[in-house]
Amino acid sequence: MSLVAHLVRRGVGLAWSAHAESQRLKRDAAAADAHTGKHASMSTGQLVATALLIITVVASIFTYFWIEYTLHFVLGNLVAVEDSTATAGSPSGIAGARESESKDGEFKDGVSKDGVSKDGEPVEVEGTDDQAEKESLIPSTSDERVVPRGNAGTTPITASIRSTLKHIRALDGFKGYFRGLGAFFLYAITSGILYALLVLLAEFVNPGVTNSLGTLSLPELVADFTVTMSTCRLHCNWTHATVRDNTDIPARGVYRRSRYVSRKDYRFLSLPAMRIWLARAAATALPLAVFRTAQPMIRPTPVAATLVTVLFVVVCVLVSVSVVLPARIARTRIETSLLLETVSTIVPVDRTFGGRVDRTQSLAWWRFVALHLGLVGAYKTFDRATFCRALKVWAVYFFVALTFMFGVTALLCVELLFVMGGPEAATAVVKQMIADNGSP
């Protein structure tokens, strides 16, 4: 959510400005004391407050990363791909499906393992009961873990955020909240380095180029498009790492190579990646266009400024829900459809999603482009129940992140008061900041 990130940056910037001003006043006071022969030092309370401030900052960064990664990404992917008509952990992903068995292996001498002939009549098999009794007395040496599957066709595992978090913790413990973290770092670091290099190169070749909005740099848009299209395979690997069950994948061998998407699958990933880029661009451009259009039409009063701000937030929410969220669900489902059939998942997944995502269909090129690039094609990849669950996760994430940000900002302000030397010293800092900015 760009709005949450913007508010976080504003809060951190304000706190940093107050801290910088406090340090400047302290340096001035120290210089004055040194000139008069006095030596100022921090009191014990200020030292304790500084230590608490550092601990709060570190804990806040870790907690916010947990909120962003677990609620926004991991739960978002699991909600997007779960199908209540499939069975979790099944390699094929279809409800009730098991690994394929040949017809010849089901019957031995015309009799099945359950003692039923091919004609459907019961047949007495010698030693069957004794063998079953002996097998029941032998302790199992299999180290396969028991995975909570949920009820296929009834209540999805991701029906509530609490049940989803419990499911993840039951599989891998606390580290399950950070599923696919290694793939995420690979994707994030690669994207960040490539984006920075492209922006610096574009600004060096032709500095000062901006688009019609005057707020978004054209080199940044081009760099974002290039990074999105070139790292879509890394993003797909990250999606696979968040939804697959890693217990049946050895660290080496052919299954190790199955962790990565092949180059030939790029044709299925490029158009959804372009669609998500267009959705993000629309989520940024449309609210700004509405804001810049409505601002001159309203009288410059506090009430009017509040109305324009509310309008900006409403447009942001509407575009995010109606454009960005469907594009993200569609991209996640298309990426999950590329997961190998031999790899199981931690939630029920149908690789075709009820026929909505079928890569085996031979479509005309314009139908293929419309399905994977258009917004209508994104809506066709999921049903209403999936959209409602994904919208619920987004709403909870936004509320938790916003509440956490305001709470941490208030706590940091209180701690900064004690670091500055108390309310009186903090008031002097604020007055000095107002005077430096030229405010009345």
Question: What is the DSSP code string of 59-98?
Answer: HHHHHHHHIIIIIIIIHHHHHHH--TTS-TT-SS-STT--
Q: What is the pLDDT of residue 422?
A: 63
Mean pLDDT for the chain overall: 75
Q: Name which residue leads in pLDDT, 423 or 149.
A: 423
Inter-helix orientation angle 384-420/44-66, to 10°: 170
| Residue 208 predicted with pLDDT over 90 | no
Q: Name which residue leads in pLDDT, 104 or 382.
A: 382
- How does pLDDT run across 270-281, given as a tens digit for each residue? 999 999 999 999
| Residue 413 predicted with pLDDT over 80 | yes
**Mean pLDDT value of segment 100-109:** 43
Where is average pLDDT lowest: 207-211, 281-285, 356-360? 207-211
Token representation of residue 301: 């009063």
Distance CA 353, CA 339 (A): 13
Q: pLDDT band at residue 439, thresholds of 50, 70 and 90?
A: very low
Distances (CA, A) of 372 to 73, 88, 124, 139, 228: 22, 27, 57, 51, 15
Q: What is the pLDDT of residue 56?
A: 92
Q: pLDDT band at residue 293, thresholds of 50, 70 and 90?
A: confident
- How does pLDDT run across 308-349, given as a tens digit for each residue? 888 888 999 999 999 999 999 999 999 999 888 888 889 988
Where is average pLDDT lowest: 119-123, 186-190, 230-234? 119-123
Q: What is the pLDDT of residue 292?
A: 79
Q: Name which residue leads in pLDDT, 109 or 175.
A: 175
Token representation of residue 381: 């990849």
Looking at the chain, the whole-number percentage of residues with pLDDT higher than 90 is: 32
| Residue 143 predicted with pLDDT over 60 | no
Q: What is the pLDDT of residue 105?
A: 44
Q: What is the pLDDT of residue 436?
A: 64
**Mean pLDDT value of segment 370-381:** 88
Q: What is the pLDDT of residue 360?
A: 64
Q: What is the pLDDT of residue 110?
A: 52
Token representation of residue 47: 């030292």
Distance CA 15, CA 239 (A): 36
Distance CA 150, CA 177 (A): 19
- How does pLDDT run across 145-193, given as a tens digit for each residue? 444 444 444 688 888 899 999 999 998 889 999 999 999 999 999 999 9
Q: Name which residue leads in pLDDT, 353 or 153.
A: 353
Q: What is the DSSP letter of 345?
A: B
User: Residues 134-173, buried b or exposed e (16+ Cβ, 10 A)?
Assistant: eeeeeeeeeeeeebeebebeeebbbbebeebbebbeebbe
**Cα angle value 57/61/62 (rounded, 5°):** 120
Where is average pLDDT lowest: 4-13, 56-65, 278-287? 4-13
Q: Name which residue leads in pLDDT, 179 or 205.
A: 179
Looking at the chain, the whole-number percentage of residues with pLDDT higher than 70 is: 62
**Mean pLDDT value of segment 19-39:** 55
Q: Name which residue leads in pLDDT, 99 or 57.
A: 57
Q: How many CA atoms lie within 13 A of 233 on its CB side?
A: 11
Distance CA 208, CA 205 (A): 10
Q: Name which residue leads in pLDDT, 400 or 124.
A: 400
Q: pLDDT band at residue 38, thresholds of 50, 70 and 90?
A: very low
| Residue 20 predicted with pLDDT over 90 | no
**Mean pLDDT value of segment 410-415:** 86
| Residue 379 predicted with pLDDT over 80 | yes
